Amino acid sequence: MKDIDRNLVRMSEEAPSSDSRRNFLKLAAFTGAAVSVARRPAFAVQKEMTFFAKDLSDEKLIDMYRTILKIRWHERTQADEMLTNTEYRGYNHFYAGQEAVATGVCAALRNDGPFEQIDLVYSSHRPSGHAIAKGVDIPTMVAEMDFRATGMNGGYGAEMHISDPSVGFIGADGMIGPAPVIASGSAFAMRARGSDQVAVVFAGDGNYAAPHFHSTLNNARLLDLPLIYVCENNLYHQYAHYRLSCPHDDIASAAAAYGIPAVTVDGQDVVQVYNAAKDAVDRARAGEGPTFIEAKTYRYYNHWGAPGAEAGKLGAFGYDPLAITSFRPERELRAWMQRDPVDISRAILVDWGVLEEQAALDMEDEIKAEIREAFDWALAQPLCKPEDGLKHVFAEGAVAARQFG
């Protein structure tokens, strides 16, 4: 059977019986795809099919929309604090514009349960979106990012060292390069224990030029590790375009060279990201090894902090004094904002008849208020004490030396 026929058979076998608008649309596209078979190569049809998420319940779709909104309003509220509140100490590498990537990937993971069974996420210097998508407690994360003693990590971690192992968010890391290696070590441990857990690393396009990128993929393939490498290609590392340090248009093609199944998805569309992640998770749990997902996306703020941003407005269009070498074109930012992950996920809900538009908008107001409350609570918390700064750096007590072999 040709690939395309197999796809169509699979789609019809799995078509749910309910007559919701979502299923009607799916069926209509399925018929359209069948008609186009004669004229198009199989992969084009497969790509069209990625717009549908056959195993996502309405509840899960709403949940993903809510997660995207939580990440977005955490960012906007924090940016406004940075721009207007002189007492505020926190900072961030903002993730606005990329929310659908963390959300779609984490929605395909196991996020509740005992530590030995949940999937683990490794992040780097732009971690707060990944943390929220994995399910960390937002008020304590907000407190952590403003150095509060009751913060998630006692106020000593701040943005680049947030972590909450209880939900499988192993943490952030300020260095560009090592996160994939650390995640692959974790995936190796999972395999050695015979667990069906999955390790996920989120890394930027900037990681391509680090040796860790290449050794991670090589080892992951050689050892068939349950590793999902999510490359968030937002086109820039700090102020340099990724093509200055990478010869490939699609970074995924570099992963394919290591013998790893690799896909490129639209990182603004949460359903496309989810579909790719779900396939990758299924493969890893079945012992079939690693997957590389490149999500094409864009960040709305500048690399770090809120230079060039204005209180109450999304994105940074103004001057960034840190951008000493190059500026990204404003036109590019405006073009990407036309394909906003919040708008896209809302349109999916409305289009598929899952929520009325007004209900979706009301949900956004609710989440905005929830996040404001989280900030109000966090900013009233006590600050961490400088004299406690070296706590938890060294193990306390005696540690017995061990030798292997």
Ligand X SMILES: Cc1ncc(C[n+]2csc(CCOP(=O)(O)OP(=O)(O)O)c2C)c(N)n1
Chain residues binding ligand X by CB under 6 A are 125-126, 174-177, 204-207, 234, 236-238, 303
- Integer-rounded Cα Rg, in Å, for the chain is 22
Give the separation between CA 273 and CA 264, rounded to whole angstroms. 9
| Shortest spacing between CB 238 and Mg ion, in angstroms | 8
Name which of 127 and 204 has its Cβ closer to Mg ion: 204
Among 234, 272, 291, 302, binds Mg ion (CB under 5 A): 234
| Shortest spacing between CB 236 and ligand X, in angstroms | 6
H-helix or E-strand containing 84?
helix 58-84
Within a 10 A sphere around the Cβ of 244, how many other Cβ atoms? Answer: 10
Instruction: Choose the stretch contacting Mg ion; rule: CB under 5 A; options: 196-204, 218-226, 269-277, 306-314.
Output: 196-204
Please provide the distance, in angstroms rounded to a whole number, between the alpha carbons at the two ends of the chain: 52
Give the separation between CA 290 and CA 295, rounded to whole angstroms. 16
Name which of 294 and 340 has its Cβ closer to Mg ion: 294
The residue with tokens 């490129």 is 264
Binding to Mg ion, residues 236-255 (CB under 5 A): 237
Instruction: Return phi, psi of residue 135, to 5°.
Output: 105, 25
207 touches, from ligand X, Mg ion, none (C-beta below 5 to 8 Å by class): ligand X
| Shortest spacing between CB 267 and Mg ion, in angstroms | 11
| Shortest spacing between CB 193 and ligand X, in angstroms | 30
238 touches, from Mg ion, ligand X, none (C-beta below 5 to 8 Å by class): ligand X
- Helix/strand/coil for 102: helix
Name which of 52 and 229 has its Cβ closer to ligand X: 229
Does the footprint of Mg ion cover residue 98 (CB under 5 A)? no
Q: Which two tokens stand for residue 197?
A: 């857990």
Cα separations in angstroms, 400 against 125, 392, 395, 396, 404: 34, 18, 12, 12, 13
| Shortest spacing between CB 235 and Mg ion, in angstroms | 7
Give the separation between CA 68 and CA 62, rounded to whole angstroms. 10
Q: Which residues contact 371 (CB under 8 A, 6 or more apart)?
A: 70, 73, 74, 77, 138
Number of residues that bind Mg ion (CB under 5 A): 4
177 touches, from Mg ion, ligand X, none (C-beta below 5 to 8 Å by class): ligand X
Does the footprint of Mg ion cover residue 74 (CB under 5 A)? no
The residue with tokens 């929310």 is 99
Please identify the residue of the shown chain whose CB is closest to the bound ligand X. 204
Of 201, 142, 206, the residue nearest 171 (C-alpha): 201
| Shortest spacing between CB 214 and ligand X, in angstroms | 15
Among 139, 204, 226, 315, binds Mg ion (CB under 5 A): 204
Name which of 108 and 203 has its Cβ closer to ligand X: 203
Applying CB under 5 A, the residues found at the interface with Mg ion are: 204-205, 234, 237
